[in-house]
Amino acid sequence: MKATLFAAIAMLLSIASPAFAAVGPQEHSGILVWAFIGFFGLIVVAQLVPAALVLIGIARSFAVGHQQIN
C-alpha cells in the first residue's frame, strides 16, 4: 500500500508542469483595469467639483467683503 502511494505521488509530481507566466510586458490591459482607472477618475472629478465651488465661494466672499470696506 505504501509503495503504491509513493509511486502515485512520484508519478503525479513528475508530470507537474510549471505555471505559464507572461514572459514580457503585456501589450494591453484588461477591461477590469480600465474600469478601475475610470472609477478612480470619477472619484477624483466628483471631489474636485465641490472643492471648486468652495473656492469660488471663498473668492466671492473676499470680493464682497472688500467692497463693503470701501
pLDDT at 6: 81
pLDDT in tens, 4-54: 888 888 877 777 666 666 666 666 778 888 899 999 999 999 999 999 999
For residue 3, pLDDT beyond 60: yes
For residue 66, pLDDT beyond 70: no
Helix/strand/coil (H, E, C) string of 21-70?
CCCCCCCCCCHHHHHHHHHHHHHHHHHHHHHHHHHHHHHHHHHHHHHHHC
pLDDT at 20: 65
pLDDT at 11: 77
